[in-house]
A and B are shown apart, each in its own frame.
Chain A
Amino acid sequence: MTATDLKAGSDPLLSNYELGVAFDEMFGRAKSIRPAYQSVAQRLRELPSGEMDQRQRAADLSFLHQGITFTVYGREEGTERIFPYDLMPRIVTGKEWTHVEKGLEQRIRALNLFLNDVYHDQKIFKDKVVPAELVFSCPHYRKEMRGIKVPKGIYITVVGTDLVRVEEGEFRVLEDNLRVPSGVSYMLANRQVMKKVFPLLFQKYSVRPIDDYPRYLLQTLKEITPRQYDEPTVALLTPGVYNSAYFEHTFLARQMGVELVEGRDLVVHNKIVYMRTTAGLRRVDVIYRRIDDDFLDPRAFRKDSMLGVPGIFEAYRAGNVTLANAIGTGVADDKAVYAYVPAIIKYYLGEEPILPNVETYLCSDEKERAHVLANLDKLVVKAVGESGGYGMLIGPHSTKAQQDEFRTKILENPRNYIAQPTLALSTAPCFVEGKLDGRHVDLRPYVLYGDEVRLVPGGLTRVALKKGSLVVNSSQGGGSKDTWILYNDPAEE
């Protein structure tokens, strides 16, 4: 059977599906169903009408009861919402994944070497591959980190890289998240709910399991312990219950079996970090911190931080505790430095990048700036230090007034902005108001770096739930899907 034999056919759930210009994950041109999605399509045809609705409700309720929610502020009691979840799985074939996996490993190794260089010898500046002033002007550059040795030279222990698929389905890197990437708990929770709601469909596929993630994370964290000791004490540092990712912190701590600590649980004495337990103070070796650099230590960084631990930076500098990720990794995921990542890969590894970047214009460069200013209505402009979909101008969806606002901002502070072509992110079918409708998606796999680079075969597929929208961030109305990485590629079976 070929891909074109099984068309969307007469089923209203599938046949009314509208294809846009973007690459679609499930349908090829002329609405042929891609081989990997044929069992999904078949299952959808078998389901009685109304069944999808019912299962969606079951899934939503399951998230609510498990408390997988984030809090929306502004109302009296803080309304809790679930992170919208779409029932339709996103499928990535084994072959596609192998390519992604190689590309990510290469990229993470190169970025880690870059960080090592930036905070030690700075050869890459001397060789004029990356301009020094670009790095020094980055708000996340930490001069306090110069010359500090981190265990095994590993700066970026946990990475979440945002990938998009463009044109004919080619994967590209849109963003590296090297500070405190979040969302991995949704990747794991989505899978659990999927198995609960669609067991039969799940069974038809050979989906690679992702449940090992917490175990790999713990192993990776133990590998970067500062002192050789049989059983290093690992803790996860959270800003607390009011943080929007709090669920994830509790989830990971429990799955790893480590203590979830807040700043107030830790004390530093003689440059050693302890946690306050019912049996007295206990030394901590490795801290997986989910607090930004700025808030880590009121003595070293922001003085008004109530979340941090006074003196923890001193303990870190003395090599008595490991922080993961290291401090100052934000220089390598700066959106302007991003433009240099292909060059960084070539410089340190002598290899061509496996996963290409998205074309990027630096507003700090005079020529490129002129191009950006002339094409504000076509490009996506991003502030380099922002994340979460904030500080962005999406040219084709913007008003003249918004473009003028960005023009002024760019001219005031060119270093702070970059621009990229407006990408047609791939679409995937989502279940919206009783029917399937295409929505733009991205993919965030999670990479761990300890004695080796580890990836679980999976990732978080984020969905821009508003039709036509290109912003997938949860803070901007994004949702997510379960992501299936297959062992075998159906086309080859």
Chain B
Amino acid sequence: MLSRVADSLYWMSRYLERAEHTARTLDVHLTLMLDQFHESAPRRWHRLLATLSIDDSPEATEFDAQAVTHLLTVDNSNMASILSCVASARENARQIRDSISSEMFEQINRLYHHVKSTSFESIKTHGHSDFTSRIVEGSALFQGVTGSTIARGEGYQFIQIGKHLERSLMTIAMLKAYSEFYLSADGADEADSHVGHLDLVALLRCSSAFEAYCRVHTATLRKTNILEFLLLDRDFPHSVAFSVNNLFAALHSVGREGRGLDTGRTDRMIGRLQAQLTYANIEEVMDRGVIEFLDEVTSQLEGIHGGIQDIFIAYAIESELGA
């Protein structure tokens, strides 16, 4: 597979994952705000932006539901808006449309035309949820046709790599933004106040994890359980450990198809991270410091991103022809 194509598949997938996550997170927060005490609103908008790793400028304090909705949906000056993400995903898809199935392109193209033709006025008129659910559905449809129309070759693996890398980074950013809720100084494990409870439900819902969590731990929201579920659960598709396992499998599969090229570097990095998440225990993580742990995982994921670029995409020609 052409290096440029692999790169575009990877970014297409990352952008689309990000658009979906942003849509879900926005929807959850706008719903959450309906149950808000007014005075805590600015802090929550800040947290929403932190959840999405968007640097909030000082004027962020001025945010209200409308401004945030605009910023995250169809604001084309915001590189992280849903519009920008879908447009970037589609632009990447357009550059490699010979390498994905027609069904995949048509799906992402439809989604793009839908987002592009949606005005902020119409979001205000019809409510945000039509819009956000269309994004989540669009992404699901794309995953669906991807699953059923493309061979499980390298291209598919690069799509998986992009998706799971983005997803794990987004989940970690979200866990960091919400740390005040499960790292309370009082040490009480069960959510006590109403507000804290709602926020924890929101945290789970941003990852579509609420129902899955309840099946495992019942509706009793224990902070350590939530953290463990989103970080270390092996079976839930939005947990960091699950994404890293998939990342491991996809990278391994790509490396195998390759030449005798040195994939050792990414193999080592992803292997170490996977082992760490597989054998970690939540109490240890809490003891060592959750934030430190999350930061460390983030920097390992970023290292893997760099390794992929160096090995598969932007390698030096001299090293190849030397032999």
Q: Mark A240-267, 1 if CB is under 8 A from B, else 0.
A: 1100001001110110000111101101
Asked if residues B109 and A254 are in contact (CB atoms below 8 Å), the reply is no
B window 261-279: CB within 8 A of A: 261
Chain B residue at minimum C-beta to C-beta distance from A236: B98
A67 interface residue, CB < 8 Å from B? yes
Binary B-proximity of A261-283 (CB < 8 A = 1, otherwise 0): 11011010100000111111100
Is there a chain B Cβ closer than 8 Å to A66's Cβ? yes
Q: Which residue of A is nearest B257, CB measured?
A: A279
Interface residues on B, range: 20 to 34
Do the beta carbons of A269 and B317 come within 8 Å of each other? yes
A66 touches B259 (CB 8 A): no
Are A251 and B109 interface neighbours, CB within 8 A? no
A64 at the interface (CB under 8 A from B): yes
Residues of A with C-beta under 8 A to B257: 278-279
B254 interface residue, CB < 8 Å from A? yes
B105 CB-CB contact with A under 8 Å: yes
Let me know if B105 and A278 touch, CB within 8 A.
no
Check A67–B106 contact: CB distance below 8 A.
Answer: yes
User: Quick one: closest B residue to A251, CB to CB?
Assistant: B98
Tell whether, in the assembled complex, residue A277 and residue B98 are in contact, meaning their CB atoms are under 8 Å apart.
no
A265 near B261: Cβ-Cβ < 8 Å: no
Q: Is there an interface contact between A65 and B317, defined as CB atoms closer than 8 Å?
A: no
Q: Which of B2, B113, B258 contacts A265 (CB 8 A)?
A: B2
Decide if the interface of chain B is mainly helix, strand, loop or mixed.
Answer: helix
A-B contact count (CB 8 A): 74
Contact of B105 among A67, A265, A276, A279 (CB under 8 A): A67
Shortest Cβ distance from residue A247 to the other chain B in the assembled complex, whole angstroms: 8
Asked if B130 is at the interface of the complex by the 8 Å CB criterion, the answer is no
Q: Which A residues touch B1, using CB under 8 A?
A: 277-279
Q: A250-B98, A280-B320 are in contact. Are A65 and B110 (CB under 8 A)?
A: yes
Chain A residues with Cβ below 8 Å from B258 are: 278-280
In the bound complex, CA of A256 to CA of B106 (Å):
19
In the complex, which of the residues A66, A67, A253, A277 contacts B3, with contact meaning CB atoms closer than 8 Å? A277
- Quick one: which of B6, B76, B97 has the most chain A CB within 10 A? B97
Q: Is B4 an interface residue, CB under 8 A from the partner?
A: yes
A66 and B102 contacting across the interface, CB-CB below 8 Å: yes
Q: Within 8 Å of chain A (Cβ to Cβ): is B95?
A: yes
Give chain A nearest CB distance to B227 CB in angstroms: 36
Please name all residues of chain A whose beta carbon is closer than 8 Å to the beta carbon of B102 when the two chains form the complex: 66, 254
B321 contacts chain A at the CB level, 8 A cutoff: yes
Interface residues of B in 236-266 (CB under 8 A from A): 254, 257-259, 261
Question: How would residues 102 to 143 of chain B score, 1 for a CB under 8 Å from any chain A CB and 0 otherwise?
Answer: 100110011001000000000000000000000000000000
With an 8 A cutoff between CB atoms, is B199 at the interface? no
A67 near B109 with CB under 8 A, answer yes
B contact residues around A276 at 8 Å (CB)? 2-4, 317
24 CB < 8 A contacts A-B = A64-B113, A65-B113, A66-B106, A67-B105, A241-B91, A241-B95, A254-B97, A259-B2, A260-B98, A265-B3, A267-B317, A276-B4, A276-B317, A277-B2, A277-B3, A278-B1, A278-B3, A278-B257, A278-B313, A279-B1, A280-B258, A280-B261, A280-B320, A281-B321
Residues in chain B within 8 A of chain A (CB atoms): 1-6, 76, 91, 94-99, 102, 105-106, 109-110, 113, 154, 254, 257-259, 261, 312-313, 317, 320-321
- Given A269-B317, A281-B317, output 9 extra A-B contacts at Cβ < 8 Å: A67-B105, A67-B106, A241-B94, A250-B96, A250-B98, A261-B2, A265-B2, A280-B258, A281-B320
